[in-house]
Structure 1
Amino acid sequence: MQARTSDARAPGFWPLALVFALFVLFMYGPMFAIFTLSFQGPEGGLTFPMRGTSLHWFRQLAEGLGTVDIAAAFRRSLMLGAVVMLLTVVLSVLAGLAFRKRLAGGNALFYVAVASLIMPSIIVSLGIGLQFRLLDTGLKAALAAMGAESTLEDYGTALGLLTSALGAHLTWTLPFGLLIMFAVFNRFNPAYEEAARDLGASPWQSFRHVVLPLIGASVVGIGMFGFTLSWDEIARTSQAIGDVNTLPLELQGLTSTVTTPAIYALGTVTTVVSFLVIGIALGGAALLRRRASKRRG
């Protein structure tokens, strides 16, 4: 009898492979279906079979979808995502540096910071919206007491893109950034910093020329998480953004009013932006990792 080769498949390989293939199909199949249907001709509908192939629905998307200003919502989402990304990176790195030392109450502070991950997103959004409405009431009462009638008439609400919505998104992105940064510094070798100090480097020079290049790939990853999580967020934004909408909220609203493949074209554009950001982040992380390895070498 021929001996069984070392590379023979285990008995459970094919059932597990089938389950994994079905999982991938279930997860990515709808996305590719939307991509495909967005390139239909002018007579296309919302289901298969396709009716022609063209860029008609992308052109219609560029011209606008009724009263909805897609371009403005797109710009708002980009701006909010960029600010969230920047703040997530800065605050996560600073927190990671601070937690390298033993802090009084550090464990409690850590659990408070990451607790929002397990809280229902809609509850967080409702709570933030309520807080800012109470702030509006207090500010209006203060303005009325001071007799600032003209200011009171011009005052609208503190709810907005870079106030309440920004805070809501940070409750979602910051815990991920903190967890990544803590893991990075948990494995960080302080001997590199000590060597820089021995050579006369200041704390800032040690961070800029030694620590930051070594953690640069992780910092880029945190930035990617910050932007993509903000870019796609709906639940935490819904009750905390005020009178304007981000692109995901507009897309959610259009699903009940737009009955043409233009909605698929919009979904394709938003997904391409997400993949573009991920690609840039992965490329930047690989470049920083290569530079760091050269420095260590």
Structure 2
Amino acid sequence: MTRDKRPAAFWFLALFFALFVLFLYGPMLVIVVLSFQGPEGGLTFPLRGVSLHWFYKLAEGLGVVDIGAALMRSLGLGLAVMALTVVFSVLAGLAFRKKLAGGNTLFLIVVASLIMPSIIVSLGIGLEFRLLDTGIKQALEFFGMADTLEGYGTALGLFTSALGAHLTWTLPFGLLIMFAIFNRFNPVYEEAARDLGATPWQGFRHVVLPLIAPSVVGIAMFGFTLSWDEIARTSQAIGDVNTLPLELQGLTSTVTTPSIYALGTVTTVVSLLVVGAAIGLAGWLGRRQKKGAR
């Protein structure tokens, strides 16, 4: 039996897809390759030797920038954003299963931040917290709390303004995912649980949550990865510290060695590990769900 000859359009589309994949992942591959250069390596090709030299240099530090501290700040912020995105998205998804007064308006308000320029959102949040600073200082002065006023800095910070800025980016995605999940969720399982005497909390914990668990893991992955590499929404709302992406952006104009490529490789590996862990956990939950349904 001879196989059918593929039409010319197939090869054209295959070539187009290959070029698209190369365009999408080529820059990442170039950064990874150049990060493994030898001591004489530069910022461009050709590759000069192969070694872990620039990773050792990265571990020693990049000038006055504390990469380790910036990494921990980004991890902490990413985990906080991930947790809050999951909680609020699931609660909002449950709430929107019922008809809410003003629900459409509320939904539009939530997703509006997706169409607003990120830098404008960041500037707005920064201005809000500066107004909050002014109000707090006036209140402290009014109540005669001079010592507290003298030691007060700003409400802008990693887990205040920056956290809020990141949530304006991650929550709409989480909410849209939950809408898609609950739109095809069969309420028969909940009704069966209630018929068996389960309370609303027990029905959610033992029926709904296990069924939507793989999607919840996906929301967690979105929350962390979107926060992990966010720059624009962080820039004006972070206060007096920097996250790793902001430090990396600043280093692009001062670091002239492949150490910056090594840093890019490390951050990419962290992202891939998070994505891999999320996919593995979602797959395990899916298999467990199918096994329990038998």
* 3-state secondary structure, aligned to 1:41: coil
**Deviations, residues 87-115 of structure 1 (Å, cap 9, x unaligned):** 00000000011111111111111111111
Matches within 5 A, 1:240-255: 240-255=237-252
Give a deviation string over 1:182-236, Cα, whole Å, max 9, x none: 1100000000011111111111111111111100000000000000000000000
Show the counterpart of 1:179: 176
Q: TM-score, normalised by structure 2?
A: 0.98
Number of equivalent positions: 294
Three-state SS of the structure 2 residue aligned to 1:67 is coil
* Cα-Cα RMSD: 1.2
Q: Give how far 1:9 is off.
A: 2.2
TM-score norm. by structure 1 comes to 0.97
Aligned to 2:70: 73
2:270 to 259, 273, 279: 273
1:130-151: per-residue Cα shift (whole Å, max 9, x none)? Answer: 1001111111111112111100
For 1:65-214, what aligned pairs fall within 5 Å after superposition?
A: 65-214=62-211
- Runs of 4 or more, structure 1, over 3 Å off, are none
Counterpart-to-counterpart distance in 2, 1:4 and 1:127: 65
Quote the Cα distance in structure 1 between the aligned partners of 2:158 and 2:213. 29
CA distance in structure 2 between the aligned counterparts of 1:109 and 1:179, rounded to whole angstroms: 13
- CA-CA distance at 1:8 after TM superposition: 3.4
Q: For structure 1, which segment, 266-275 or 19-28, has the greater mean C-alpha deviation from structure 2 after superposition?
A: 19-28
Tell me, yes or no, if structure 1 residue 15 matches structure 2 residue 12: yes
State the alpha-carbon separation in 1 of the partners of residues 46 and 90 from structure 2: 50
Aligned to 2:8, the other structure's residue is in SS state coil
Any idea what SS the aligned residue of 1:12 has?
Answer: helix
* Greater mean alpha carbon deviation, residues 12-21 or residues 282-291: 12-21
Q: Deviations over 1:57-103 (max 9, x none)?
A: 11111110000000000000000000000000000000011111111
> What is the identity percentage for the equivalent residue pairs of Structure 1 and Structure 2?
78
Query: 1:261 is matched by which residue type in structure 2?
Result: P
SS in 1 for 2:97: coil
Matched residue type, 1:253: G
In 1, distance between residues paired with 2:153 and 2:5? 70
Q: State the one-letter code of the partner of 1:45.
A: G
Q: CA deviation at 1:4?
A: 9.4
Q: How does 1:220-239 map to 2 (within 5 A)?
A: 220-239=217-236
Secondary structure of the equivalent of 1:36? helix
Matching of residue 35 in structure 1 with residue 32 in structure 2: yes
Equivalent residue number for residue 23 of structure 2? 26
What is the DSSP-based 3-state SS (H/G/I as helix, E as strand, rest coil) of the residue aligned with 2:21? helix
Task: Structure 2 unaligned segments of length 5 or more: list them.
Answer: none
Q: Does 1:289 align with 2:286?
A: yes
The CA deviation string for residues 130-184 of structure 1, in whole angstroms up to 9 with x for no partner, is 1001111111111112111100100000000000000000000000000000110
Aligned counterparts, 1:252-267, within 5 A: 252-267=249-264
Gaps of 5+ in 1: none
Partner AA of 1:196 in structure 2? A
SS of 1:116's partner is helix
